[in-house]
Amino acid sequence: MEGDIICPACDSATEHTVLHAGRDLVVRCEVCGTVHSVAPHPHVRMTPLKVIVSSGPNSRVYRVSVPRNDMLSVGSEIVVDDGRSDVVVAEVTAIETDKRVSHALARDVKCVWSRAVDDVVVKISVYRAGRTRSFRIMTKGDEVFAVGDVREVEGLRYKIVKIKGRNGGFPESSEARDIIRVWGRQL
């Protein structure tokens, strides 16, 4: 959005990003990061959008309204709020128009596929003396895991020795939302 929204924290007109568009817009100030709601401009036309959100092994279909001219992109985050169930922060994984595309205007989109990133499942493998035990934990998507961290899962203390990232690499640290698996050595 253009810098025509007054941020309550900055107390001035600043650039904002629309996180959710419904009856009111939920926006984030690009200067200070404050999230707040504002009434949409009367000339903003909305379009219905089908959003499928996967969370672990489960998927759920939401129907939301978004500004027709919003650009949706694979890899971007959206706030999914249909007004009837929980609000979910999700990362766009695929966009369907007449075909799969990497970005499109909301008015051209038939379906958005996404994965929840506010609460995520992290798979952990802990080994000791040739035996490996696997665990799945639910955690906040922005929780940081780092090689060398000492943690505990189901009463078992372990030290992180390796992290497999969603990008295919092995980072030294990563947010939970970007992790495929964590390996640890039992202490």
Percent residues over pLDDT 90 in the chain = 42
What's the pLDDT at 23? 67
Please identify which residue in the block is written with the tokens 């595309």. Answer: 101
Buried b (16+ CB within 10 A) or exposed e, 22-31: beebbbbbee
State mean pLDDT over 19-30: 76
Measuring CA to CA, which residue among 28, 66, 24 is closest to residue 41? Answer: 24
Residue 148 has which token pair?
């060398």
Q: Give the torsion through C-alpha atoms of 99, 169, 156, 158, to 10 deg.
A: -170
pLDDT digits (tens, 9 = 90+) for 142-165: 899 999 999 999 999 999 999 999
Label each residue of 121-159 as H, E or C.
EEEEEEEECCEEEEEEEEEECCCEEECCCEEEECCEEEE
- Tell me if residue 74 falls in helix, strand or coil: coil
- Residue 37 binned pLDDT confidence (cut-offs 50, 70, 90): confident
Express each pLDDT in 47-92 by its tens digit.
888 999 988 788 889 988 888 888 899 988 888 877 777 778 888 9
Q: What is the pLDDT of residues 84-115, one digit of tens each?
A: 777 788 889 999 998 999 999 989 999 999 99
Give me the CATH code for the 45-117 domain, please: 2.40.30
Query: What is the arithmetic mean of pLDDT over 175-179?
Result: 92
pLDDT score recorded for residue 36: 83
Which sequence spans correspond to the domains of the chain?
Answer: 1-42, 45-117, 119-186
Contact 157, 186 (CB under 8 A): yes
